[in-house]
């Protein structure tokens, strides 16, 4: 569970209650062995972490001086290198330079030993997607027979679509087929995309890579006859901490049951060694849980951790064993290019302060996060009224149809939309190019939400600004939140009441307009409820008739 103290289980002392214990009275000359006095002795209990967690492969967060040129990375096939360059990727980002060769090499040796599972924790926008897309494509290219060999699980439809697009781009010129199953199409359509039925051979798989959301995957695991995961080589979980938190349809249980009905992939022994190798698990996130208990549910095989560290001087000669694990266990890193600020404001003036801030900073591509759909809706109406034609403002939430969400995301990415007001549904993983500023209009409750929201800007080595709006009472909590990420110097941007004074009249008018719109919407909603109620008695009568007949 996310919480302000979400990492406390990793490094904090246990909650030893201060108990006052009477010293037993004994005759002189006797020493009491292990006399218990918890008031005096409160020893620190330091958790012993498994070695793989304390000796990670360290990933630099420096996206400015890139050392690995795509053209020099001989482990990658020429065709993929060509595609990268054609798509503007000239050098590899650090996470790619570390993970791609390692995965390719571990696969090369997979006949001799099962490849190790990996956990990758690197900042938002640091290029984690290509770190798994490219090696998976390269490794799967060799197969002639169509089988599902890679399963990629993501927390949302939008993210699944994005990863699907990356697989499509980099599988160009190969025979690899990729399928997206998120519930955006009907169940039958998705079933037909996954497999076909042949009179002579039964079900035949039509795809190599299945990109899906956890919930939709379970539906298919339960209902799609012929969905065959026997040949799975990769199980990739992107935004892994989020996916693992999701209990959606008990996805992990169903998946494990499907991959190995007898549970044999859980442990490695003589019996399992004779069997096909279990899929290699690749976990990615900017806020990956490094809590062994949480990761244990995945039964990782000899896992290896790739992680960035906080406060790193980015010294390439630094050895993993020399880095204090406090620098990465339970810590999340953010991009070097991210500038963070906060603005203190009263609740009443918050929308006006937002308006003023956007104007004074001449912000365009700006993403504003609110805590609820309703708040996003009202803020959108208000800003639309205040900005008029000066800025194009729109709202987005998980309540919209996928098509409308796609359209809004595209418009914002292309720059035809200036301000997009969103709930947390857009906080994770979504790659919106060139977001100038992220505004936490509602303060995020958890460090993870803060990191992911802020991470929609300052991506791929480009500068970005994240500003959090706070009421005075929220300030201490926000500062302690930032402390968890070793952020001690986030500065304030001051907007004084004098600055706001000239906008007062316009603000009052806009608030009145907002009230009129909201009243109108509420009336419409009420009418809808009333007409729904009016049509209800028909059903009731029918039911009553039935009951009556039954009684007779
Ligand atoms: N080597 C590279 N050179 C230039 N751009 C790159 C490179 N690798 C990735 N990118 C671009 O960087 C952006 C961020 O990449 P990506 O979405 O994979 O980040 P991420 O680490 O998965 O972020 P998040 O944690 O927010 O999901 C994308 O637009 C991607 O196309």
From the CA of 429, give the closest atom in ligand 1.
Answer: 27
Answer yes or no: is the C-beta of 94 below 6 A from any ligand 1 atom.
no
Question: What's the pLDDT tens digit per position in 117-135?
Answer: 999 999 999 999 999 999 9
Count helices and strands (H / E) in the chain: 19, 19
Q: Residue 447 C-alpha to ligand 1 middle, in angstroms?
A: 21
Answer yes or no: is the C-beta of 89 below 6 A from any ligand 1 atom.
yes
Q: Which domains can be identified in the chain, with CATH numbers?
A: 51-266+274-307 (3.40.50.300), 338-509 (3.40.50.300)
Per-residue model confidence (pLDDT) at position 5: 26
**CA separation for the pair 206, 490 (Å, rounded):** 52
- Return the exposure string of 298-321: e unless at least 16 CB atoms fall within 10 Å of the residue's CB, then b: bbbbebbbbbbbeebeeeeeeeee
Answer yes or no: is the C-beta of 216 below 6 A from any ligand 1 atom.
no
Q: Among 216, 195, 217, which Cα is nearest to 207's? A: 195
DSSP-derived secondary structure letter, 288: -
From first to last of the 552 residues of the chain, give the pLDDT tens digit: 333 222 332 232 333 333 333 444 444 555 555 555 555 555 666 667 788 888 899 999 999 999 999 999 999 999 999 999 999 999 999 999 999 999 999 999 887 888 999 999 999 999 999 999 999 999 999 999 999 999 999 999 999 999 999 999 999 999 999 999 999 899 999 999 999 998 888 999 999 999 999 999 999 999 999 999 999 999 999 999 999 887 766 888 889 888 876 655 444 444 455 556 789 999 999 998 777 777 878 889 999 999 998 765 555 556 655 667 766 777 789 999 999 999 999 999 999 999 999 999 999 999 999 999 999 999 999 999 999 999 999 999 988 998 999 999 999 999 999 999 999 989 999 999 999 999 999 999 999 999 999 999 999 999 999 999 999 999 999 999 999 888 888 999 999 989 999 999 999 999 999 999 999 998 888 888 877 777 655 544 444 333 333 332
73 touches 100 (CB < 8 A): yes
Q: Residue 172 C-alpha to ligand 1 middle, in angstroms?
A: 19
Answer yes or no: is the C-beta of 289 below 6 A from any ligand 1 atom.
no
Characterise 281 by phi-psi region: left (phi > 0), alpha (psi -120 to 50), beta (else): beta
Q: Residue 125 C-alpha to ligand 1 middle, in angstroms?
A: 5
From the CA of 88, give the closest atom in ligand 1.
Answer: 4
Q: Write the residue with the smallest CA distance to atom 9 of ligand 1.
A: 127
First to last CA, the chain: 55
38 touches 54 (CB < 8 A): no
pTM over 0.80? The answer is yes
**CA separation for the pair 256, 263 (Å, rounded):** 7
Q: Among 121, 152, 129, 126, which Cα is nearest to 233's? A: 152
Site to probe by mutation for ligand 1, drawn from 127, 288, 308 as the one with most ligand atoms within 8 Å of Cβ, is: 127
With H, G, I as helix, E, B as strand and everything else as coil, classify residue 209: strand
Per-residue model confidence (pLDDT) at position 45: 63
Answer yes or no: is the C-beta of 462 below 6 A from any ligand 1 atom.
no
Q: Write the residue with the smallest CA distance to atom 14 of ligand 1.
A: 125
ipTM metric: 0.99
Query: In the chain, pLDDT over 70 holds for what percent of residues?
Result: 81
Answer yes or no: is the C-beta of 459 below 6 A from any ligand 1 atom.
yes
402 touches 389 (CB < 8 A): no
Q: Residue 350 C-alpha to ligand 1 middle, in angstroms?
A: 33
Question: What's the pLDDT tens digit per position in 172-184?
Answer: 999 999 999 999 8
Q: What is the largest CA-CA distance in the chain?
A: 93
Q: Residue 307 C-alpha to ligand 1 middle, in angstroms?
A: 16
Q: Write the residue with the smallest CA distance to atom 25 of ligand 1.
A: 124
Answer yes or no: is the C-beta of 70 below 6 A from any ligand 1 atom.
no
Q: Residue 497 C-alpha to ligand 1 middle, in angstroms?
A: 40
Q: Residue 367 C-alpha to ligand 1 middle, in angstroms?
A: 18
From the CA of 126, give the closest atom in ligand 1.
Answer: 21
Question: For the residues of 147-180, what is the DSSP string, one character each?
Answer: ---EEEEESSHHHHHHHHHHHHHHTTTS---EEE
From the CA of 433, give the closest atom in ligand 1.
Answer: 29
74 touches 101 (CB < 8 A): no
Q: Write the residue with the smallest CA distance to atom 3 of ligand 1.
A: 89
Q: Please give the C-alpha separations between residue 402 and each of 157, 166, 406, in angstroms, as whole numbers.
A: 8, 19, 6
Tokens of 320: 């993993």
């Amino acid at each position: 569970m996310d919480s302000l103290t979400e990492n406390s289980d990793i490094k904090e002392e246990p909650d030893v209650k201060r108990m006052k214990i009477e010293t037993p009275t004994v005759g002189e000359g006797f020493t009491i062995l292990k006399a218990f006095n918890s008031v005096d002795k409160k020893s620190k209990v330091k958790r012993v972490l498994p070695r793989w967690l304390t000796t990670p492969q360290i990933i630099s967060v420096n996206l400015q001086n890139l050392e690995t040129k795509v053209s020099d990375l001989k482990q990658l096939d020429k065709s993929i290198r060509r595609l990268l360059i054609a798509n503007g990727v000239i050098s590899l980002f650090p996470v790619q330079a570390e993970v791609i060769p390692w995965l390719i090499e571990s696969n090369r040796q997979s006949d001799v030993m099962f490849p190790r599972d990996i956990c990758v924790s690197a900042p938002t926008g640091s290029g984690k997607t290509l770190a798994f897309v490219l090696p998976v494509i390269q490794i799967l290219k060799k197969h002639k027979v169509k089988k599902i060999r890679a399963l990629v699980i993501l927390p949302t439809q939008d993210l699944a679509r994005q990863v699907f697009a990356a697989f499509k781009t980099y599988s160009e010129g190969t025979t690899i087929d990729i399928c997206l199953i998120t519930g955006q199409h009907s169940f039958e359509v998705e079933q037909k995309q996954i497999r076909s039925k042949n009179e002579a051979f039964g079900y035949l798989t039509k795809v190599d890579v299945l990109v899906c959301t956890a919930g939709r995957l379970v539906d298919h695991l339960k209902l799609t006859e012929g969905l065959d995961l026997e040949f799975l080589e990769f199980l990739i979980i992107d935004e892994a901490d989020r996916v693992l938190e999701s209990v959606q349809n008990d996805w992990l249980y169903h998946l494990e049951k499907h991959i190995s009905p007898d549970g044999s992939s859980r442990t490695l022994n003589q019996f399992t060694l004779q069997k096909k190798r279990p899929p290699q698990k690749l976990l990615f996130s900017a806020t990956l849980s490094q809590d062994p208990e949480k990761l244990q549910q995945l039964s990782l095989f000899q896992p290896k951790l790739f992680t960035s560290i906080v406060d790193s001087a980015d010294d390439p000669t630094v050895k993993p064993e020399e880095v204090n694990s406090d620098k990465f266990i339970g810590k999340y890193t953010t991009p070097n290019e991210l500038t963070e600020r906060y603005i203190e404001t009263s609740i009443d003036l918050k929308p006006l302060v937002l308006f003023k801030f956007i104007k004074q900073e001449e912000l365009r591509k700006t993403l504003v996060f609110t805590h609820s759909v309703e708040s996003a809706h009202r803020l959108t109406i208000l800003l639309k009224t205040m900005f008029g034609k000066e800025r194009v403002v729109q709202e987005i939430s998980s309540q919209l149809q996928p098509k409308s969400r796609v359209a809004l995301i595209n418009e914002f990415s292309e720059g035809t939309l200036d301000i997009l007001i969103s709930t947390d549904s857009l906080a994770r993983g979504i790659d919106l190019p060139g977001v100038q500023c992220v505004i936490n209009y509602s303060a995020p409750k958890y460090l993870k939400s803060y990191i992911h929201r802020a991470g929609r800007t300052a991506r791929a080595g480009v500068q970005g600004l994240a500003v959090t709006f706070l009421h005075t009472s929220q300030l201490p909590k926000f500062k302690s939140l930032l402390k968890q990420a070793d952020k001690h110097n986030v500065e304030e941007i001051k907007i004084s009441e004098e600055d706001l004074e000239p906008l007062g009249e316009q603000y009052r008018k806009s608030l009145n307009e907002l009230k009129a719109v909201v009243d109108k919407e509420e009336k419409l909603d009420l009418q809808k409820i009333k007409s729904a109620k009016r049509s209800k008695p028909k059903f009731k009568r029918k039911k009553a008739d039935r009951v009556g007949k039954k009684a007779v």
